[in-house]
Amino acid sequence: MPELTYLQAISDALREEMRADERVFCLGEDIGRFGGAFKVTDGFIEEFGPDRVWDTPLAESAIVGTAVGAAVEGLRPVCEMQFADFISCGFDQLVNVAAKMHYRQGLAVPITVRLPSGGGFSGGPFHSQNPEAWMLQAPGLKVVAPSTPRDAKGLLAAAIQDPNPVVYLEHKHLYRRTKGEVPEGRYELPLGEARIAREGTDLSVIAYGAMVGVALEATEDLDGASVEVLDLRSLVPLDTDAILGSVRKTSKVVILHEATRSCGVGAEVAALIAENAFEDLDGPIVRVTAPDVPIPFSPPLERAVLPQVDNVKEACRELLAY
């Protein structure tokens, strides 16, 4: 299998779905001649032409709204938000139109909204957010957050072919830093299935996106403890069986995410565990997250805000000693 970067895997998935299915097209800001802000669609307009690679105005509401209309007419649009933060400008079309269309009218809305998310590159408060929790409160949306190139390709293909609107979180910090073996050709990974990134028996760390790598690094050699790392991959639907199975096996759990703390994915996972596996726990449920502040522009301040390997190590050691 070839080794690809996370960015190359995303680009390959999109290209292969467009080659295989003429209903698939892309739209977004600067995705055509420029090849996208991060070059995911570099060369696409030369291969597929301007009818399937749309350069749009700076109007996220129009991008998502146009995609909804095209999807209802039988196409499979893939929207790119230049940065995940900008989905706020298209929020009404996403959560009040796309997410509710099937409930309201019985219509499928097979759109994929790509959100380059996360910090770690000094992008400041308007280009570094992790807005996944916004989408969790919108019934009708699916939300995925791959951590590896293999998963990035398979989950994007599945998102494009899914009949529901899917929000696809691709972490910018992983684009060119993460490499891995990726199968050639088209393949899909099922939405709603977590992945055990490492088996363990003493403690579970539950994470997704860029924090899976942080979790693996932090617990690789943690005082001889056997630490399981569960990669959620899919946030909606959530793999409750995998979460509860891991917790029941280890009896201690740390939940790790880069997004801010309050009302985040970690809070939902913690509630799920408390409601269904409380008697299996041998210690408190621990969360390691960013605090409830905007992401700073200053590199030292950004590092202080975002969860680091040492933060995870400290949390795990305290819980193991509980």
Which positions are annotated as active-site residues? 127
Please identify which residue in the block is written with the tokens 């990726």: 182
Is the CB of residue 135 less than 8 Å from the CB of residue 141? yes
Count other C-beta atoms under 10 Å from residue 275's C-beta: 9
Is the CB of residue 322 less than 8 Å from the CB of residue 282? yes
Count other C-beta atoms under 10 Å from residue 206's C-beta: 29
Q: How far is CA 139 from CA 77, 97, 101, in A?
A: 20, 11, 11
Q: Which two structure tokens, joined as six digits, stand for 193? A: 């299935």
Is the CB of residue 240 less than 8 Å from the CB of residue 307? no
List the one residue out of 286, 13, 238, 254 whose CA is nearest residue 132.
Answer: 238
Count other C-beta atoms under 10 Å from residue 52's C-beta: 17
Query: 228 forms bridges with which residues in the sheet?
Result: 204
Is the CB of residue 253 less than 8 Å from the CB of residue 272? no
For the chain, give the longest Cα–Cα distance: 60
List the one residue out of 55, 17, 276, 43 whose CA is nearest residue 157.
Answer: 17
What distance in Å separates the CA atoms of residue 141 and residue 124, rounded to the nearest whole number?
A: 27
